[in-house]
Amino acid sequence: MIQIDNTKNYVLSTSSNNSSAFMYIMYYDANKTYLGYTSATLNSTIMANSYSNYSRAKYINLRFDILNVPEPMLEQGNVKSTYEEYNREIY
């Protein structure tokens, strides 16, 4: 599960130009109780007034209708950024 701020919008982008592929966004409350789901195409803004119980959502889970989602990136806002590979330094 991915913790979200339900006062913000998010965009899920990928390096794919497959605009017909769908994703399913499952919403959960603070106790991780399932609230429901919505669907959207890849590379689109999600969550902005797209679900009636969104104000109660604290977590989401994503499911895609294609097997390999190339370089998915979830970020706050309404505009997708250029894909950046995740870099984590271990000390």
pLDDT in tens, 2-23: 898 888 888 877 766 666 677 8
Alpha carbon 34 to its chain centroid, in Å, reads 16
pLDDT at 31: 96
On whether the CB atoms of residues 25 and 57 are closer than 8 A, the answer is: no
Please state the pTM of the whole predicted model: 0.73
pLDDT at 28: 92
Q: Which residues contact 5 (CB under 8 A, 6 or more apart)?
A: 76
pLDDT score at 18: 60
Give the distance, in angstroms, between the CA of residue 86 and the centroid of all CA atoms in the same chain. 17
pLDDT-derived band at 74 (thresholds 50, 70, 90) equals confident
The C-alpha atoms of residue 36 and residue 51 are separated, in whole angstroms, by 8
